[in-house]
Structure 1
Amino acid sequence: MKRTSTSTDKPLAGKAAVRRAFFASLTGTALEWYDFAIYSAAAALVFGDLFFPSEDPTTGTLLAFSTYAVGYVSRPLGGFVFGRLGDVIGRKKVLIATLVLIGVATFLIGLLPTYATIGVAAPIMLVLLRFAQGVGVGGEWGGAVLLSSEFGDPRRRGFYASAAQIGPPAGNLLANGVLATLGVLLTEDQFLSWGWRVAFLLSGVLVGFGLWIRAKLEETPVFKAMAAEETRPEAPIREVFATHRRALAAAILSRVAPDVLYALFTVFVLTYATGELEMSRGSALAAVLIGSSLQVFLIPLAGALSDRINRRLLYGVSAVAAGIWPFLFFLMVGGGSWPLLTLGVVVALAIHSLMYGPQAAFIAEQFAPRLRYTGSSLAYTLAGVIGGAIAPLLFTALLGAYDSWLPLALYLAVTAAVTITGICLGRDADSSEDEPGKGKAQQPSAPAPTATTG
Structure 2
Amino acid sequence: MPLEPTAQDTRPQTESARERGRDARRVAFATFVGTAIEWYDFFLYGAMAALVFGTLFFPTDDAQVSQLAALATFTVGFIARPLGGIVAGHFGDRVGRKRMLVLSLLLMGVATVGVGLLPTYGAIGVAAPVLLVTLRIMQGLAVGAEWGGAALMAVEHAPPNRRALYGAAPQLGVPVGAILANLILLLTFNLTGDSFLVWGWRVPFLISIALVLVGLVVRRQVSESPLFAKAVERTGTPKFNPLIRVLTKHPRSLLRAVFASIASASWGYVILVFILSYGSTTKLFSRPALLTMIIVASVLQVGAMLYAGLLADRLGRKRVALFGALGQVVMGLLFFPLFDSGVFWLAMMACLLASIALSAQYGPLPALLSEQFPTEVRYTGVSVGYMFGNILGGGLVPLVGAALVAATGTSFSVGLYMLFLSVVTAVAVLLTPETASVSLDDQALSSR
Once the 2 structures are TM-superposed, how far is the Cα of residue 226 of structure 1 from its aligned partner? 1.0
Contact 1:2 1:14 in 2 (8 A): no
Q: Which amino acid aligns with 1:199?
A: P
1:11: how far off?
7.8
Q: Output the CA distance in 2 between the equivalents of 1:320 and 1:44.
A: 29
Preserved CA contact (<8 Å) 1:75 1:136:
yes
1:200-239 residue pairs with structure 2 within 5 A?
Answer: 200-230=205-235, 232-234=237-239, 235-239=241-245
Residues 344-371 of structure 1 deviation map (CA, whole Å, 9 limit, x = unaligned): 1122112111111011111111111221
Which residue of structure 1 lines up, in the alignment, with residue 88 of structure 2? Answer: 82
Greater Cα offset, 145-154 or 105-114: 145-154
Shift of 1:434: 2.7
1:403 is the counterpart of 2:402: no
CA contact (8 A) 2:155 2:370 kept: no
Residue 223 of structure 1 and its aligned partner are, at CA, apart by 1.2
Distance (whole Å) between structure 1 residues aligned to residue 361 and residue 11 of structure 2: 33
- Residues 1:369 and 2:375 aligned together: yes
Shift of 1:152: 1.2
Q: Distance in 1 between matches of 2:140 and 2:230?
A: 31
Which deviates the most, 329-338 or 26-35?
329-338
The AA in structure 2 aligned to 1:442 is S
Q: Structure 2 regions of 5+ residues with no counterpart? A: 1-9
**Aligned counterparts of 1:2 and 1:132: Cα–Cα separation in 2:** 49
Instruction: Confirm or deny: 8 A CA contact 1:51 1:122 kept in the other structure.
Output: yes
Check the 8 A contact 2:333/2:419 in 1, yes or no: no
CA distance in 2, matches of 1:357, 1:3: 34
> Which residue of 1 is the match for residue 113 of structure 2?
107
Query: Is contact 2:331–2:419 with CA below 8 Å preserved after alignment?
Result: no
Q: Given that residues 52 and 64 in structure 1 are in contact (C-alpha distance below 8 angstroms), is that contact kept between their aligned partners in structure 2?
A: yes
In the aligned structure 1, how far is the partner of 2:152 from the partner of 2:55?
Answer: 40
2:324 matched residue in structure 1: 318
The whole-number CA distance in structure 2 between the counterparts of 1:351 and 1:416 is 10
Runs of 4+ with >6 A deviation: none
- Report the counterpart of residue 251 of structure 1 in structure 2: 257
The equivalent of 1:421 in structure 2 is 427
Q: Which has the higher helix share?
A: 2
CA contact (8 A) 2:269 2:397 kept: yes
**TM-score calculated relative to the size of structure 2:** 0.94
Distance in 2 of aligned mates of 1:149 and 1:12? 17
| Distance of 2:19 and 2:362 partners within structure 1 | 26
In the aligned structure 2, how far is the partner of 1:420 from the partner of 1:434? 25
Whether the aligned pair in 1 keeps the contact of 2:58 and 2:70 (CA below 8 Å) is yes
Does residue 350 (structure 1) correspond to residue 338 (structure 2)? The answer is no
1:17-416 alignment runs, 5 A limit = 17-184=23-190, 186-230=191-235, 232-234=237-239, 235-416=241-422
Equivalents in 2 of 1:189, 1:43: separation in Å?
18
Write the distance in 2 (CA, Å) between the matches of 1:243 and 1:85. 19
Give CA-to-partner distance per residue, 1:381-432, whole Å, 9 cap, x none. Answer: 1112211111111100000010011111110111011102211232211555
SS in 1 for 2:444: coil
Contact 2:341 2:347 in 1 (8 A): no
Cα shift at 1:2: 10
TM-superposed CA distance for 1:238, in Å, is 1.0
Is the contact between residue 109 and residue 129 of structure 1 (CA under 8 Å) also seen in structure 2?
A: yes
Shift of 1:441: 2.8
1 CA distance for matches of 2:325 and 2:236?
37
Which letter does structure 2 place at the counterpart of 1:295? Q
* Distance in structure 2 (CA, Å) of the matches to 1:350 and 1:378: 26
Instruction: Tell me, yes or no, if the aligned pair for 2:102 and 2:216 is still in contact at 8 Å.
Output: yes
Contact persistence 1:12–1:153 (CA under 8 A): no
- SS of the counterpart of 2:366? helix
Contact 1:41–1:267 (8 Å) recurs in 2: yes
Give the Cα separation in 1 of the matches to 2:91 and 2:20: 26
Q: CA contact under 8 A between 1:229 and 1:439: conserved in structure 2?
A: no
Q: SS at the partner of 1:110? A: helix
Distance 1:306 1:13 in 2: 25
1:12 positional shift: 8.7
User: CA distance change for structure 1 residues 390 and 2 in 2, over 3 Å: closer, same or farther?
Assistant: farther
Partner of 1:446: none
Amino acid at match of 2:338: M
For residue 452 of structure 1, what is the aligned residue in structure 2? Answer: none
Q: Alpha-carbon deviations, 1:222-272, whole Å to 9, x = none?
A: 111112112543221111111110000001000111111111111110112
- Structure 1 residue 188: deviation in Å? 5.0
User: Structure 1 residue 442 and structure 2 residue 447: aligned?
Assistant: yes
CA distance in 1, matches of 2:211, 2:106: 11
Question: Is contact 1:3–1:13 with CA below 8 Å preserved after alignment?
Answer: no
User: Equivalents in 1 of 2:263, 2:284: separation in Å?
Assistant: 28
What CA deviation, in whole Å up to 9, does each residue of 1:39-81 have, x standing for no partner? Answer: 0110111111111112212111110110000110000110110
Kindly state the Cα deviation for residue 335 of structure 1 after the two structures are TM-superposed.
3.2
Q: CA deviation at 1:18?
A: 1.3
TM-score, structure 1 length as denominator?
A: 0.93
Decide whether aligned partners of structure 1 residues 226 and 331 sit closer, same or farther in structure 2, where only a CA change above 3 A counts. Answer: same
Q: Secondary structure at the match of 1:217?
A: coil
**Which residue identity is paired with 1:143?**
G
Partner Cα distance (1:342, 1:348) in 2: 10
Aligned residue for 1:447?
Answer: none
Asked whether the equivalents of residues 339 and 346 of structure 2 are also in contact (C-alpha less than 8 Å), the reply is: yes
CA RMSD of aligned residues (A): 1.9
Task: Give the letter aligned to residue 300 of structure 1.
Answer: L
Paired with 2:346 and 2:98, the residues of 1 have a C-alpha distance of: 44
